[in-house]
A and B are shown apart, each in its own frame.
Chain A
Amino acid sequence: EPEVTQTPSHQVTQMGQEVILRCVPISNHLYFYWYRQILGQKVEFLVSFYNNEISEKSEIFDDQFSVERPDGSNFTLKIRSTKLEDSAMYFCASGGTARNTGELFFGEGSRLTVL
């Protein structure tokens, strides 16, 4: 069964450092997303990406964040200068083949710990 894969599963970094989280979405999906879940809290939308550009982003997704699809398979989230409050689980999701049905498939997440 196709799945969304994410690396690394856990990353520990110092405040102010840059972090790149990587995702391989399901191959025939067209819509890609990053969500964040602070421990014990709800899943929060960060950004959606379609047709090689950001289609929508939340207020959380400020100038410290960027996304990229550098090749045909990977989808990355970069945090330029991490803050303590960036510590969370980051989930990549993908969905939609011909059109966006709203049905999203999530990866297992990358846990980011900022010290």
Chain B
Amino acid sequence: QQQVKQSPQSLIVQKGGISIINCAYENTAFDYFPWYQQFPGKGPALLIAIRPDVSEKKEGRFTISFNKSAKQFSLHIMDSQPGDSATYFCAALGGSQGNLIFGKGTKLSVKP
């Protein structure tokens, strides 16, 4: 019940295309769903996050879509750029003290 399942494991997209990464969770007590971006050799960096009272959040080229009834959420990267090439992790807030449960990550490669 504490798992967050993420897919796909890897993704190749052409420059200008849309990258879509999906996550699913089981624990309905989760109430905060961030996406983190990680470049090689760096720590995860918060990209965008959503709470379950909204169905969509957009920040620039990044959009989170949230389906509470299906317990699924996804990250859409519009107009994908080579600089977006990184590993993306979805996560869910799993406890009252803010410990995040991470998905296994998606390695995104954007081809020029």
Contacts and interface: CB of A to CB of B under 8 A. Distances in A.
Co-complex (A, B): yes
Interface stretch (A14-22, A40-48, A68-76, A78-86): A40-48
19 contacts: A31-B98, A33-B99, A42-B104, A42-B105, A43-B44, A45-B94, A48-B97, A93-B43, A100-B96, A100-B97, A103-B46, A104-B34, A104-B100, A105-B46, A106-B36, A106-B43, A106-B44, A106-B45, A107-B43
A109 interface: yes
Given A106-B43, A108-B42, A44 B99 contact: no
Chief secondary structure at chain A's binding surface:
strand
B104 A41 contact: yes
Residue from B41, B42, B100, B105 with most neighbouring chain A CB atoms (10 Å): B100
B interface majority secondary structure: loop
Interface residues of B, number: 25
Assign chain A's interface to a size class. Answer: 20 to 34
Contacts of A91: 43-44
Contact of A43 (B89, B94, B96): B89
A4 B93 CA distance: 20
A33 B94 CA distance: 13
Given A41-B104, A103-B34, A103-B49, A31 B44 contact: no
A102 interface: yes
Contacts of B93: 102
A108 B41 CA distance: 7
Interface in A22-47: 31, 33, 35, 41-45
A105 B103 CA distance: 17
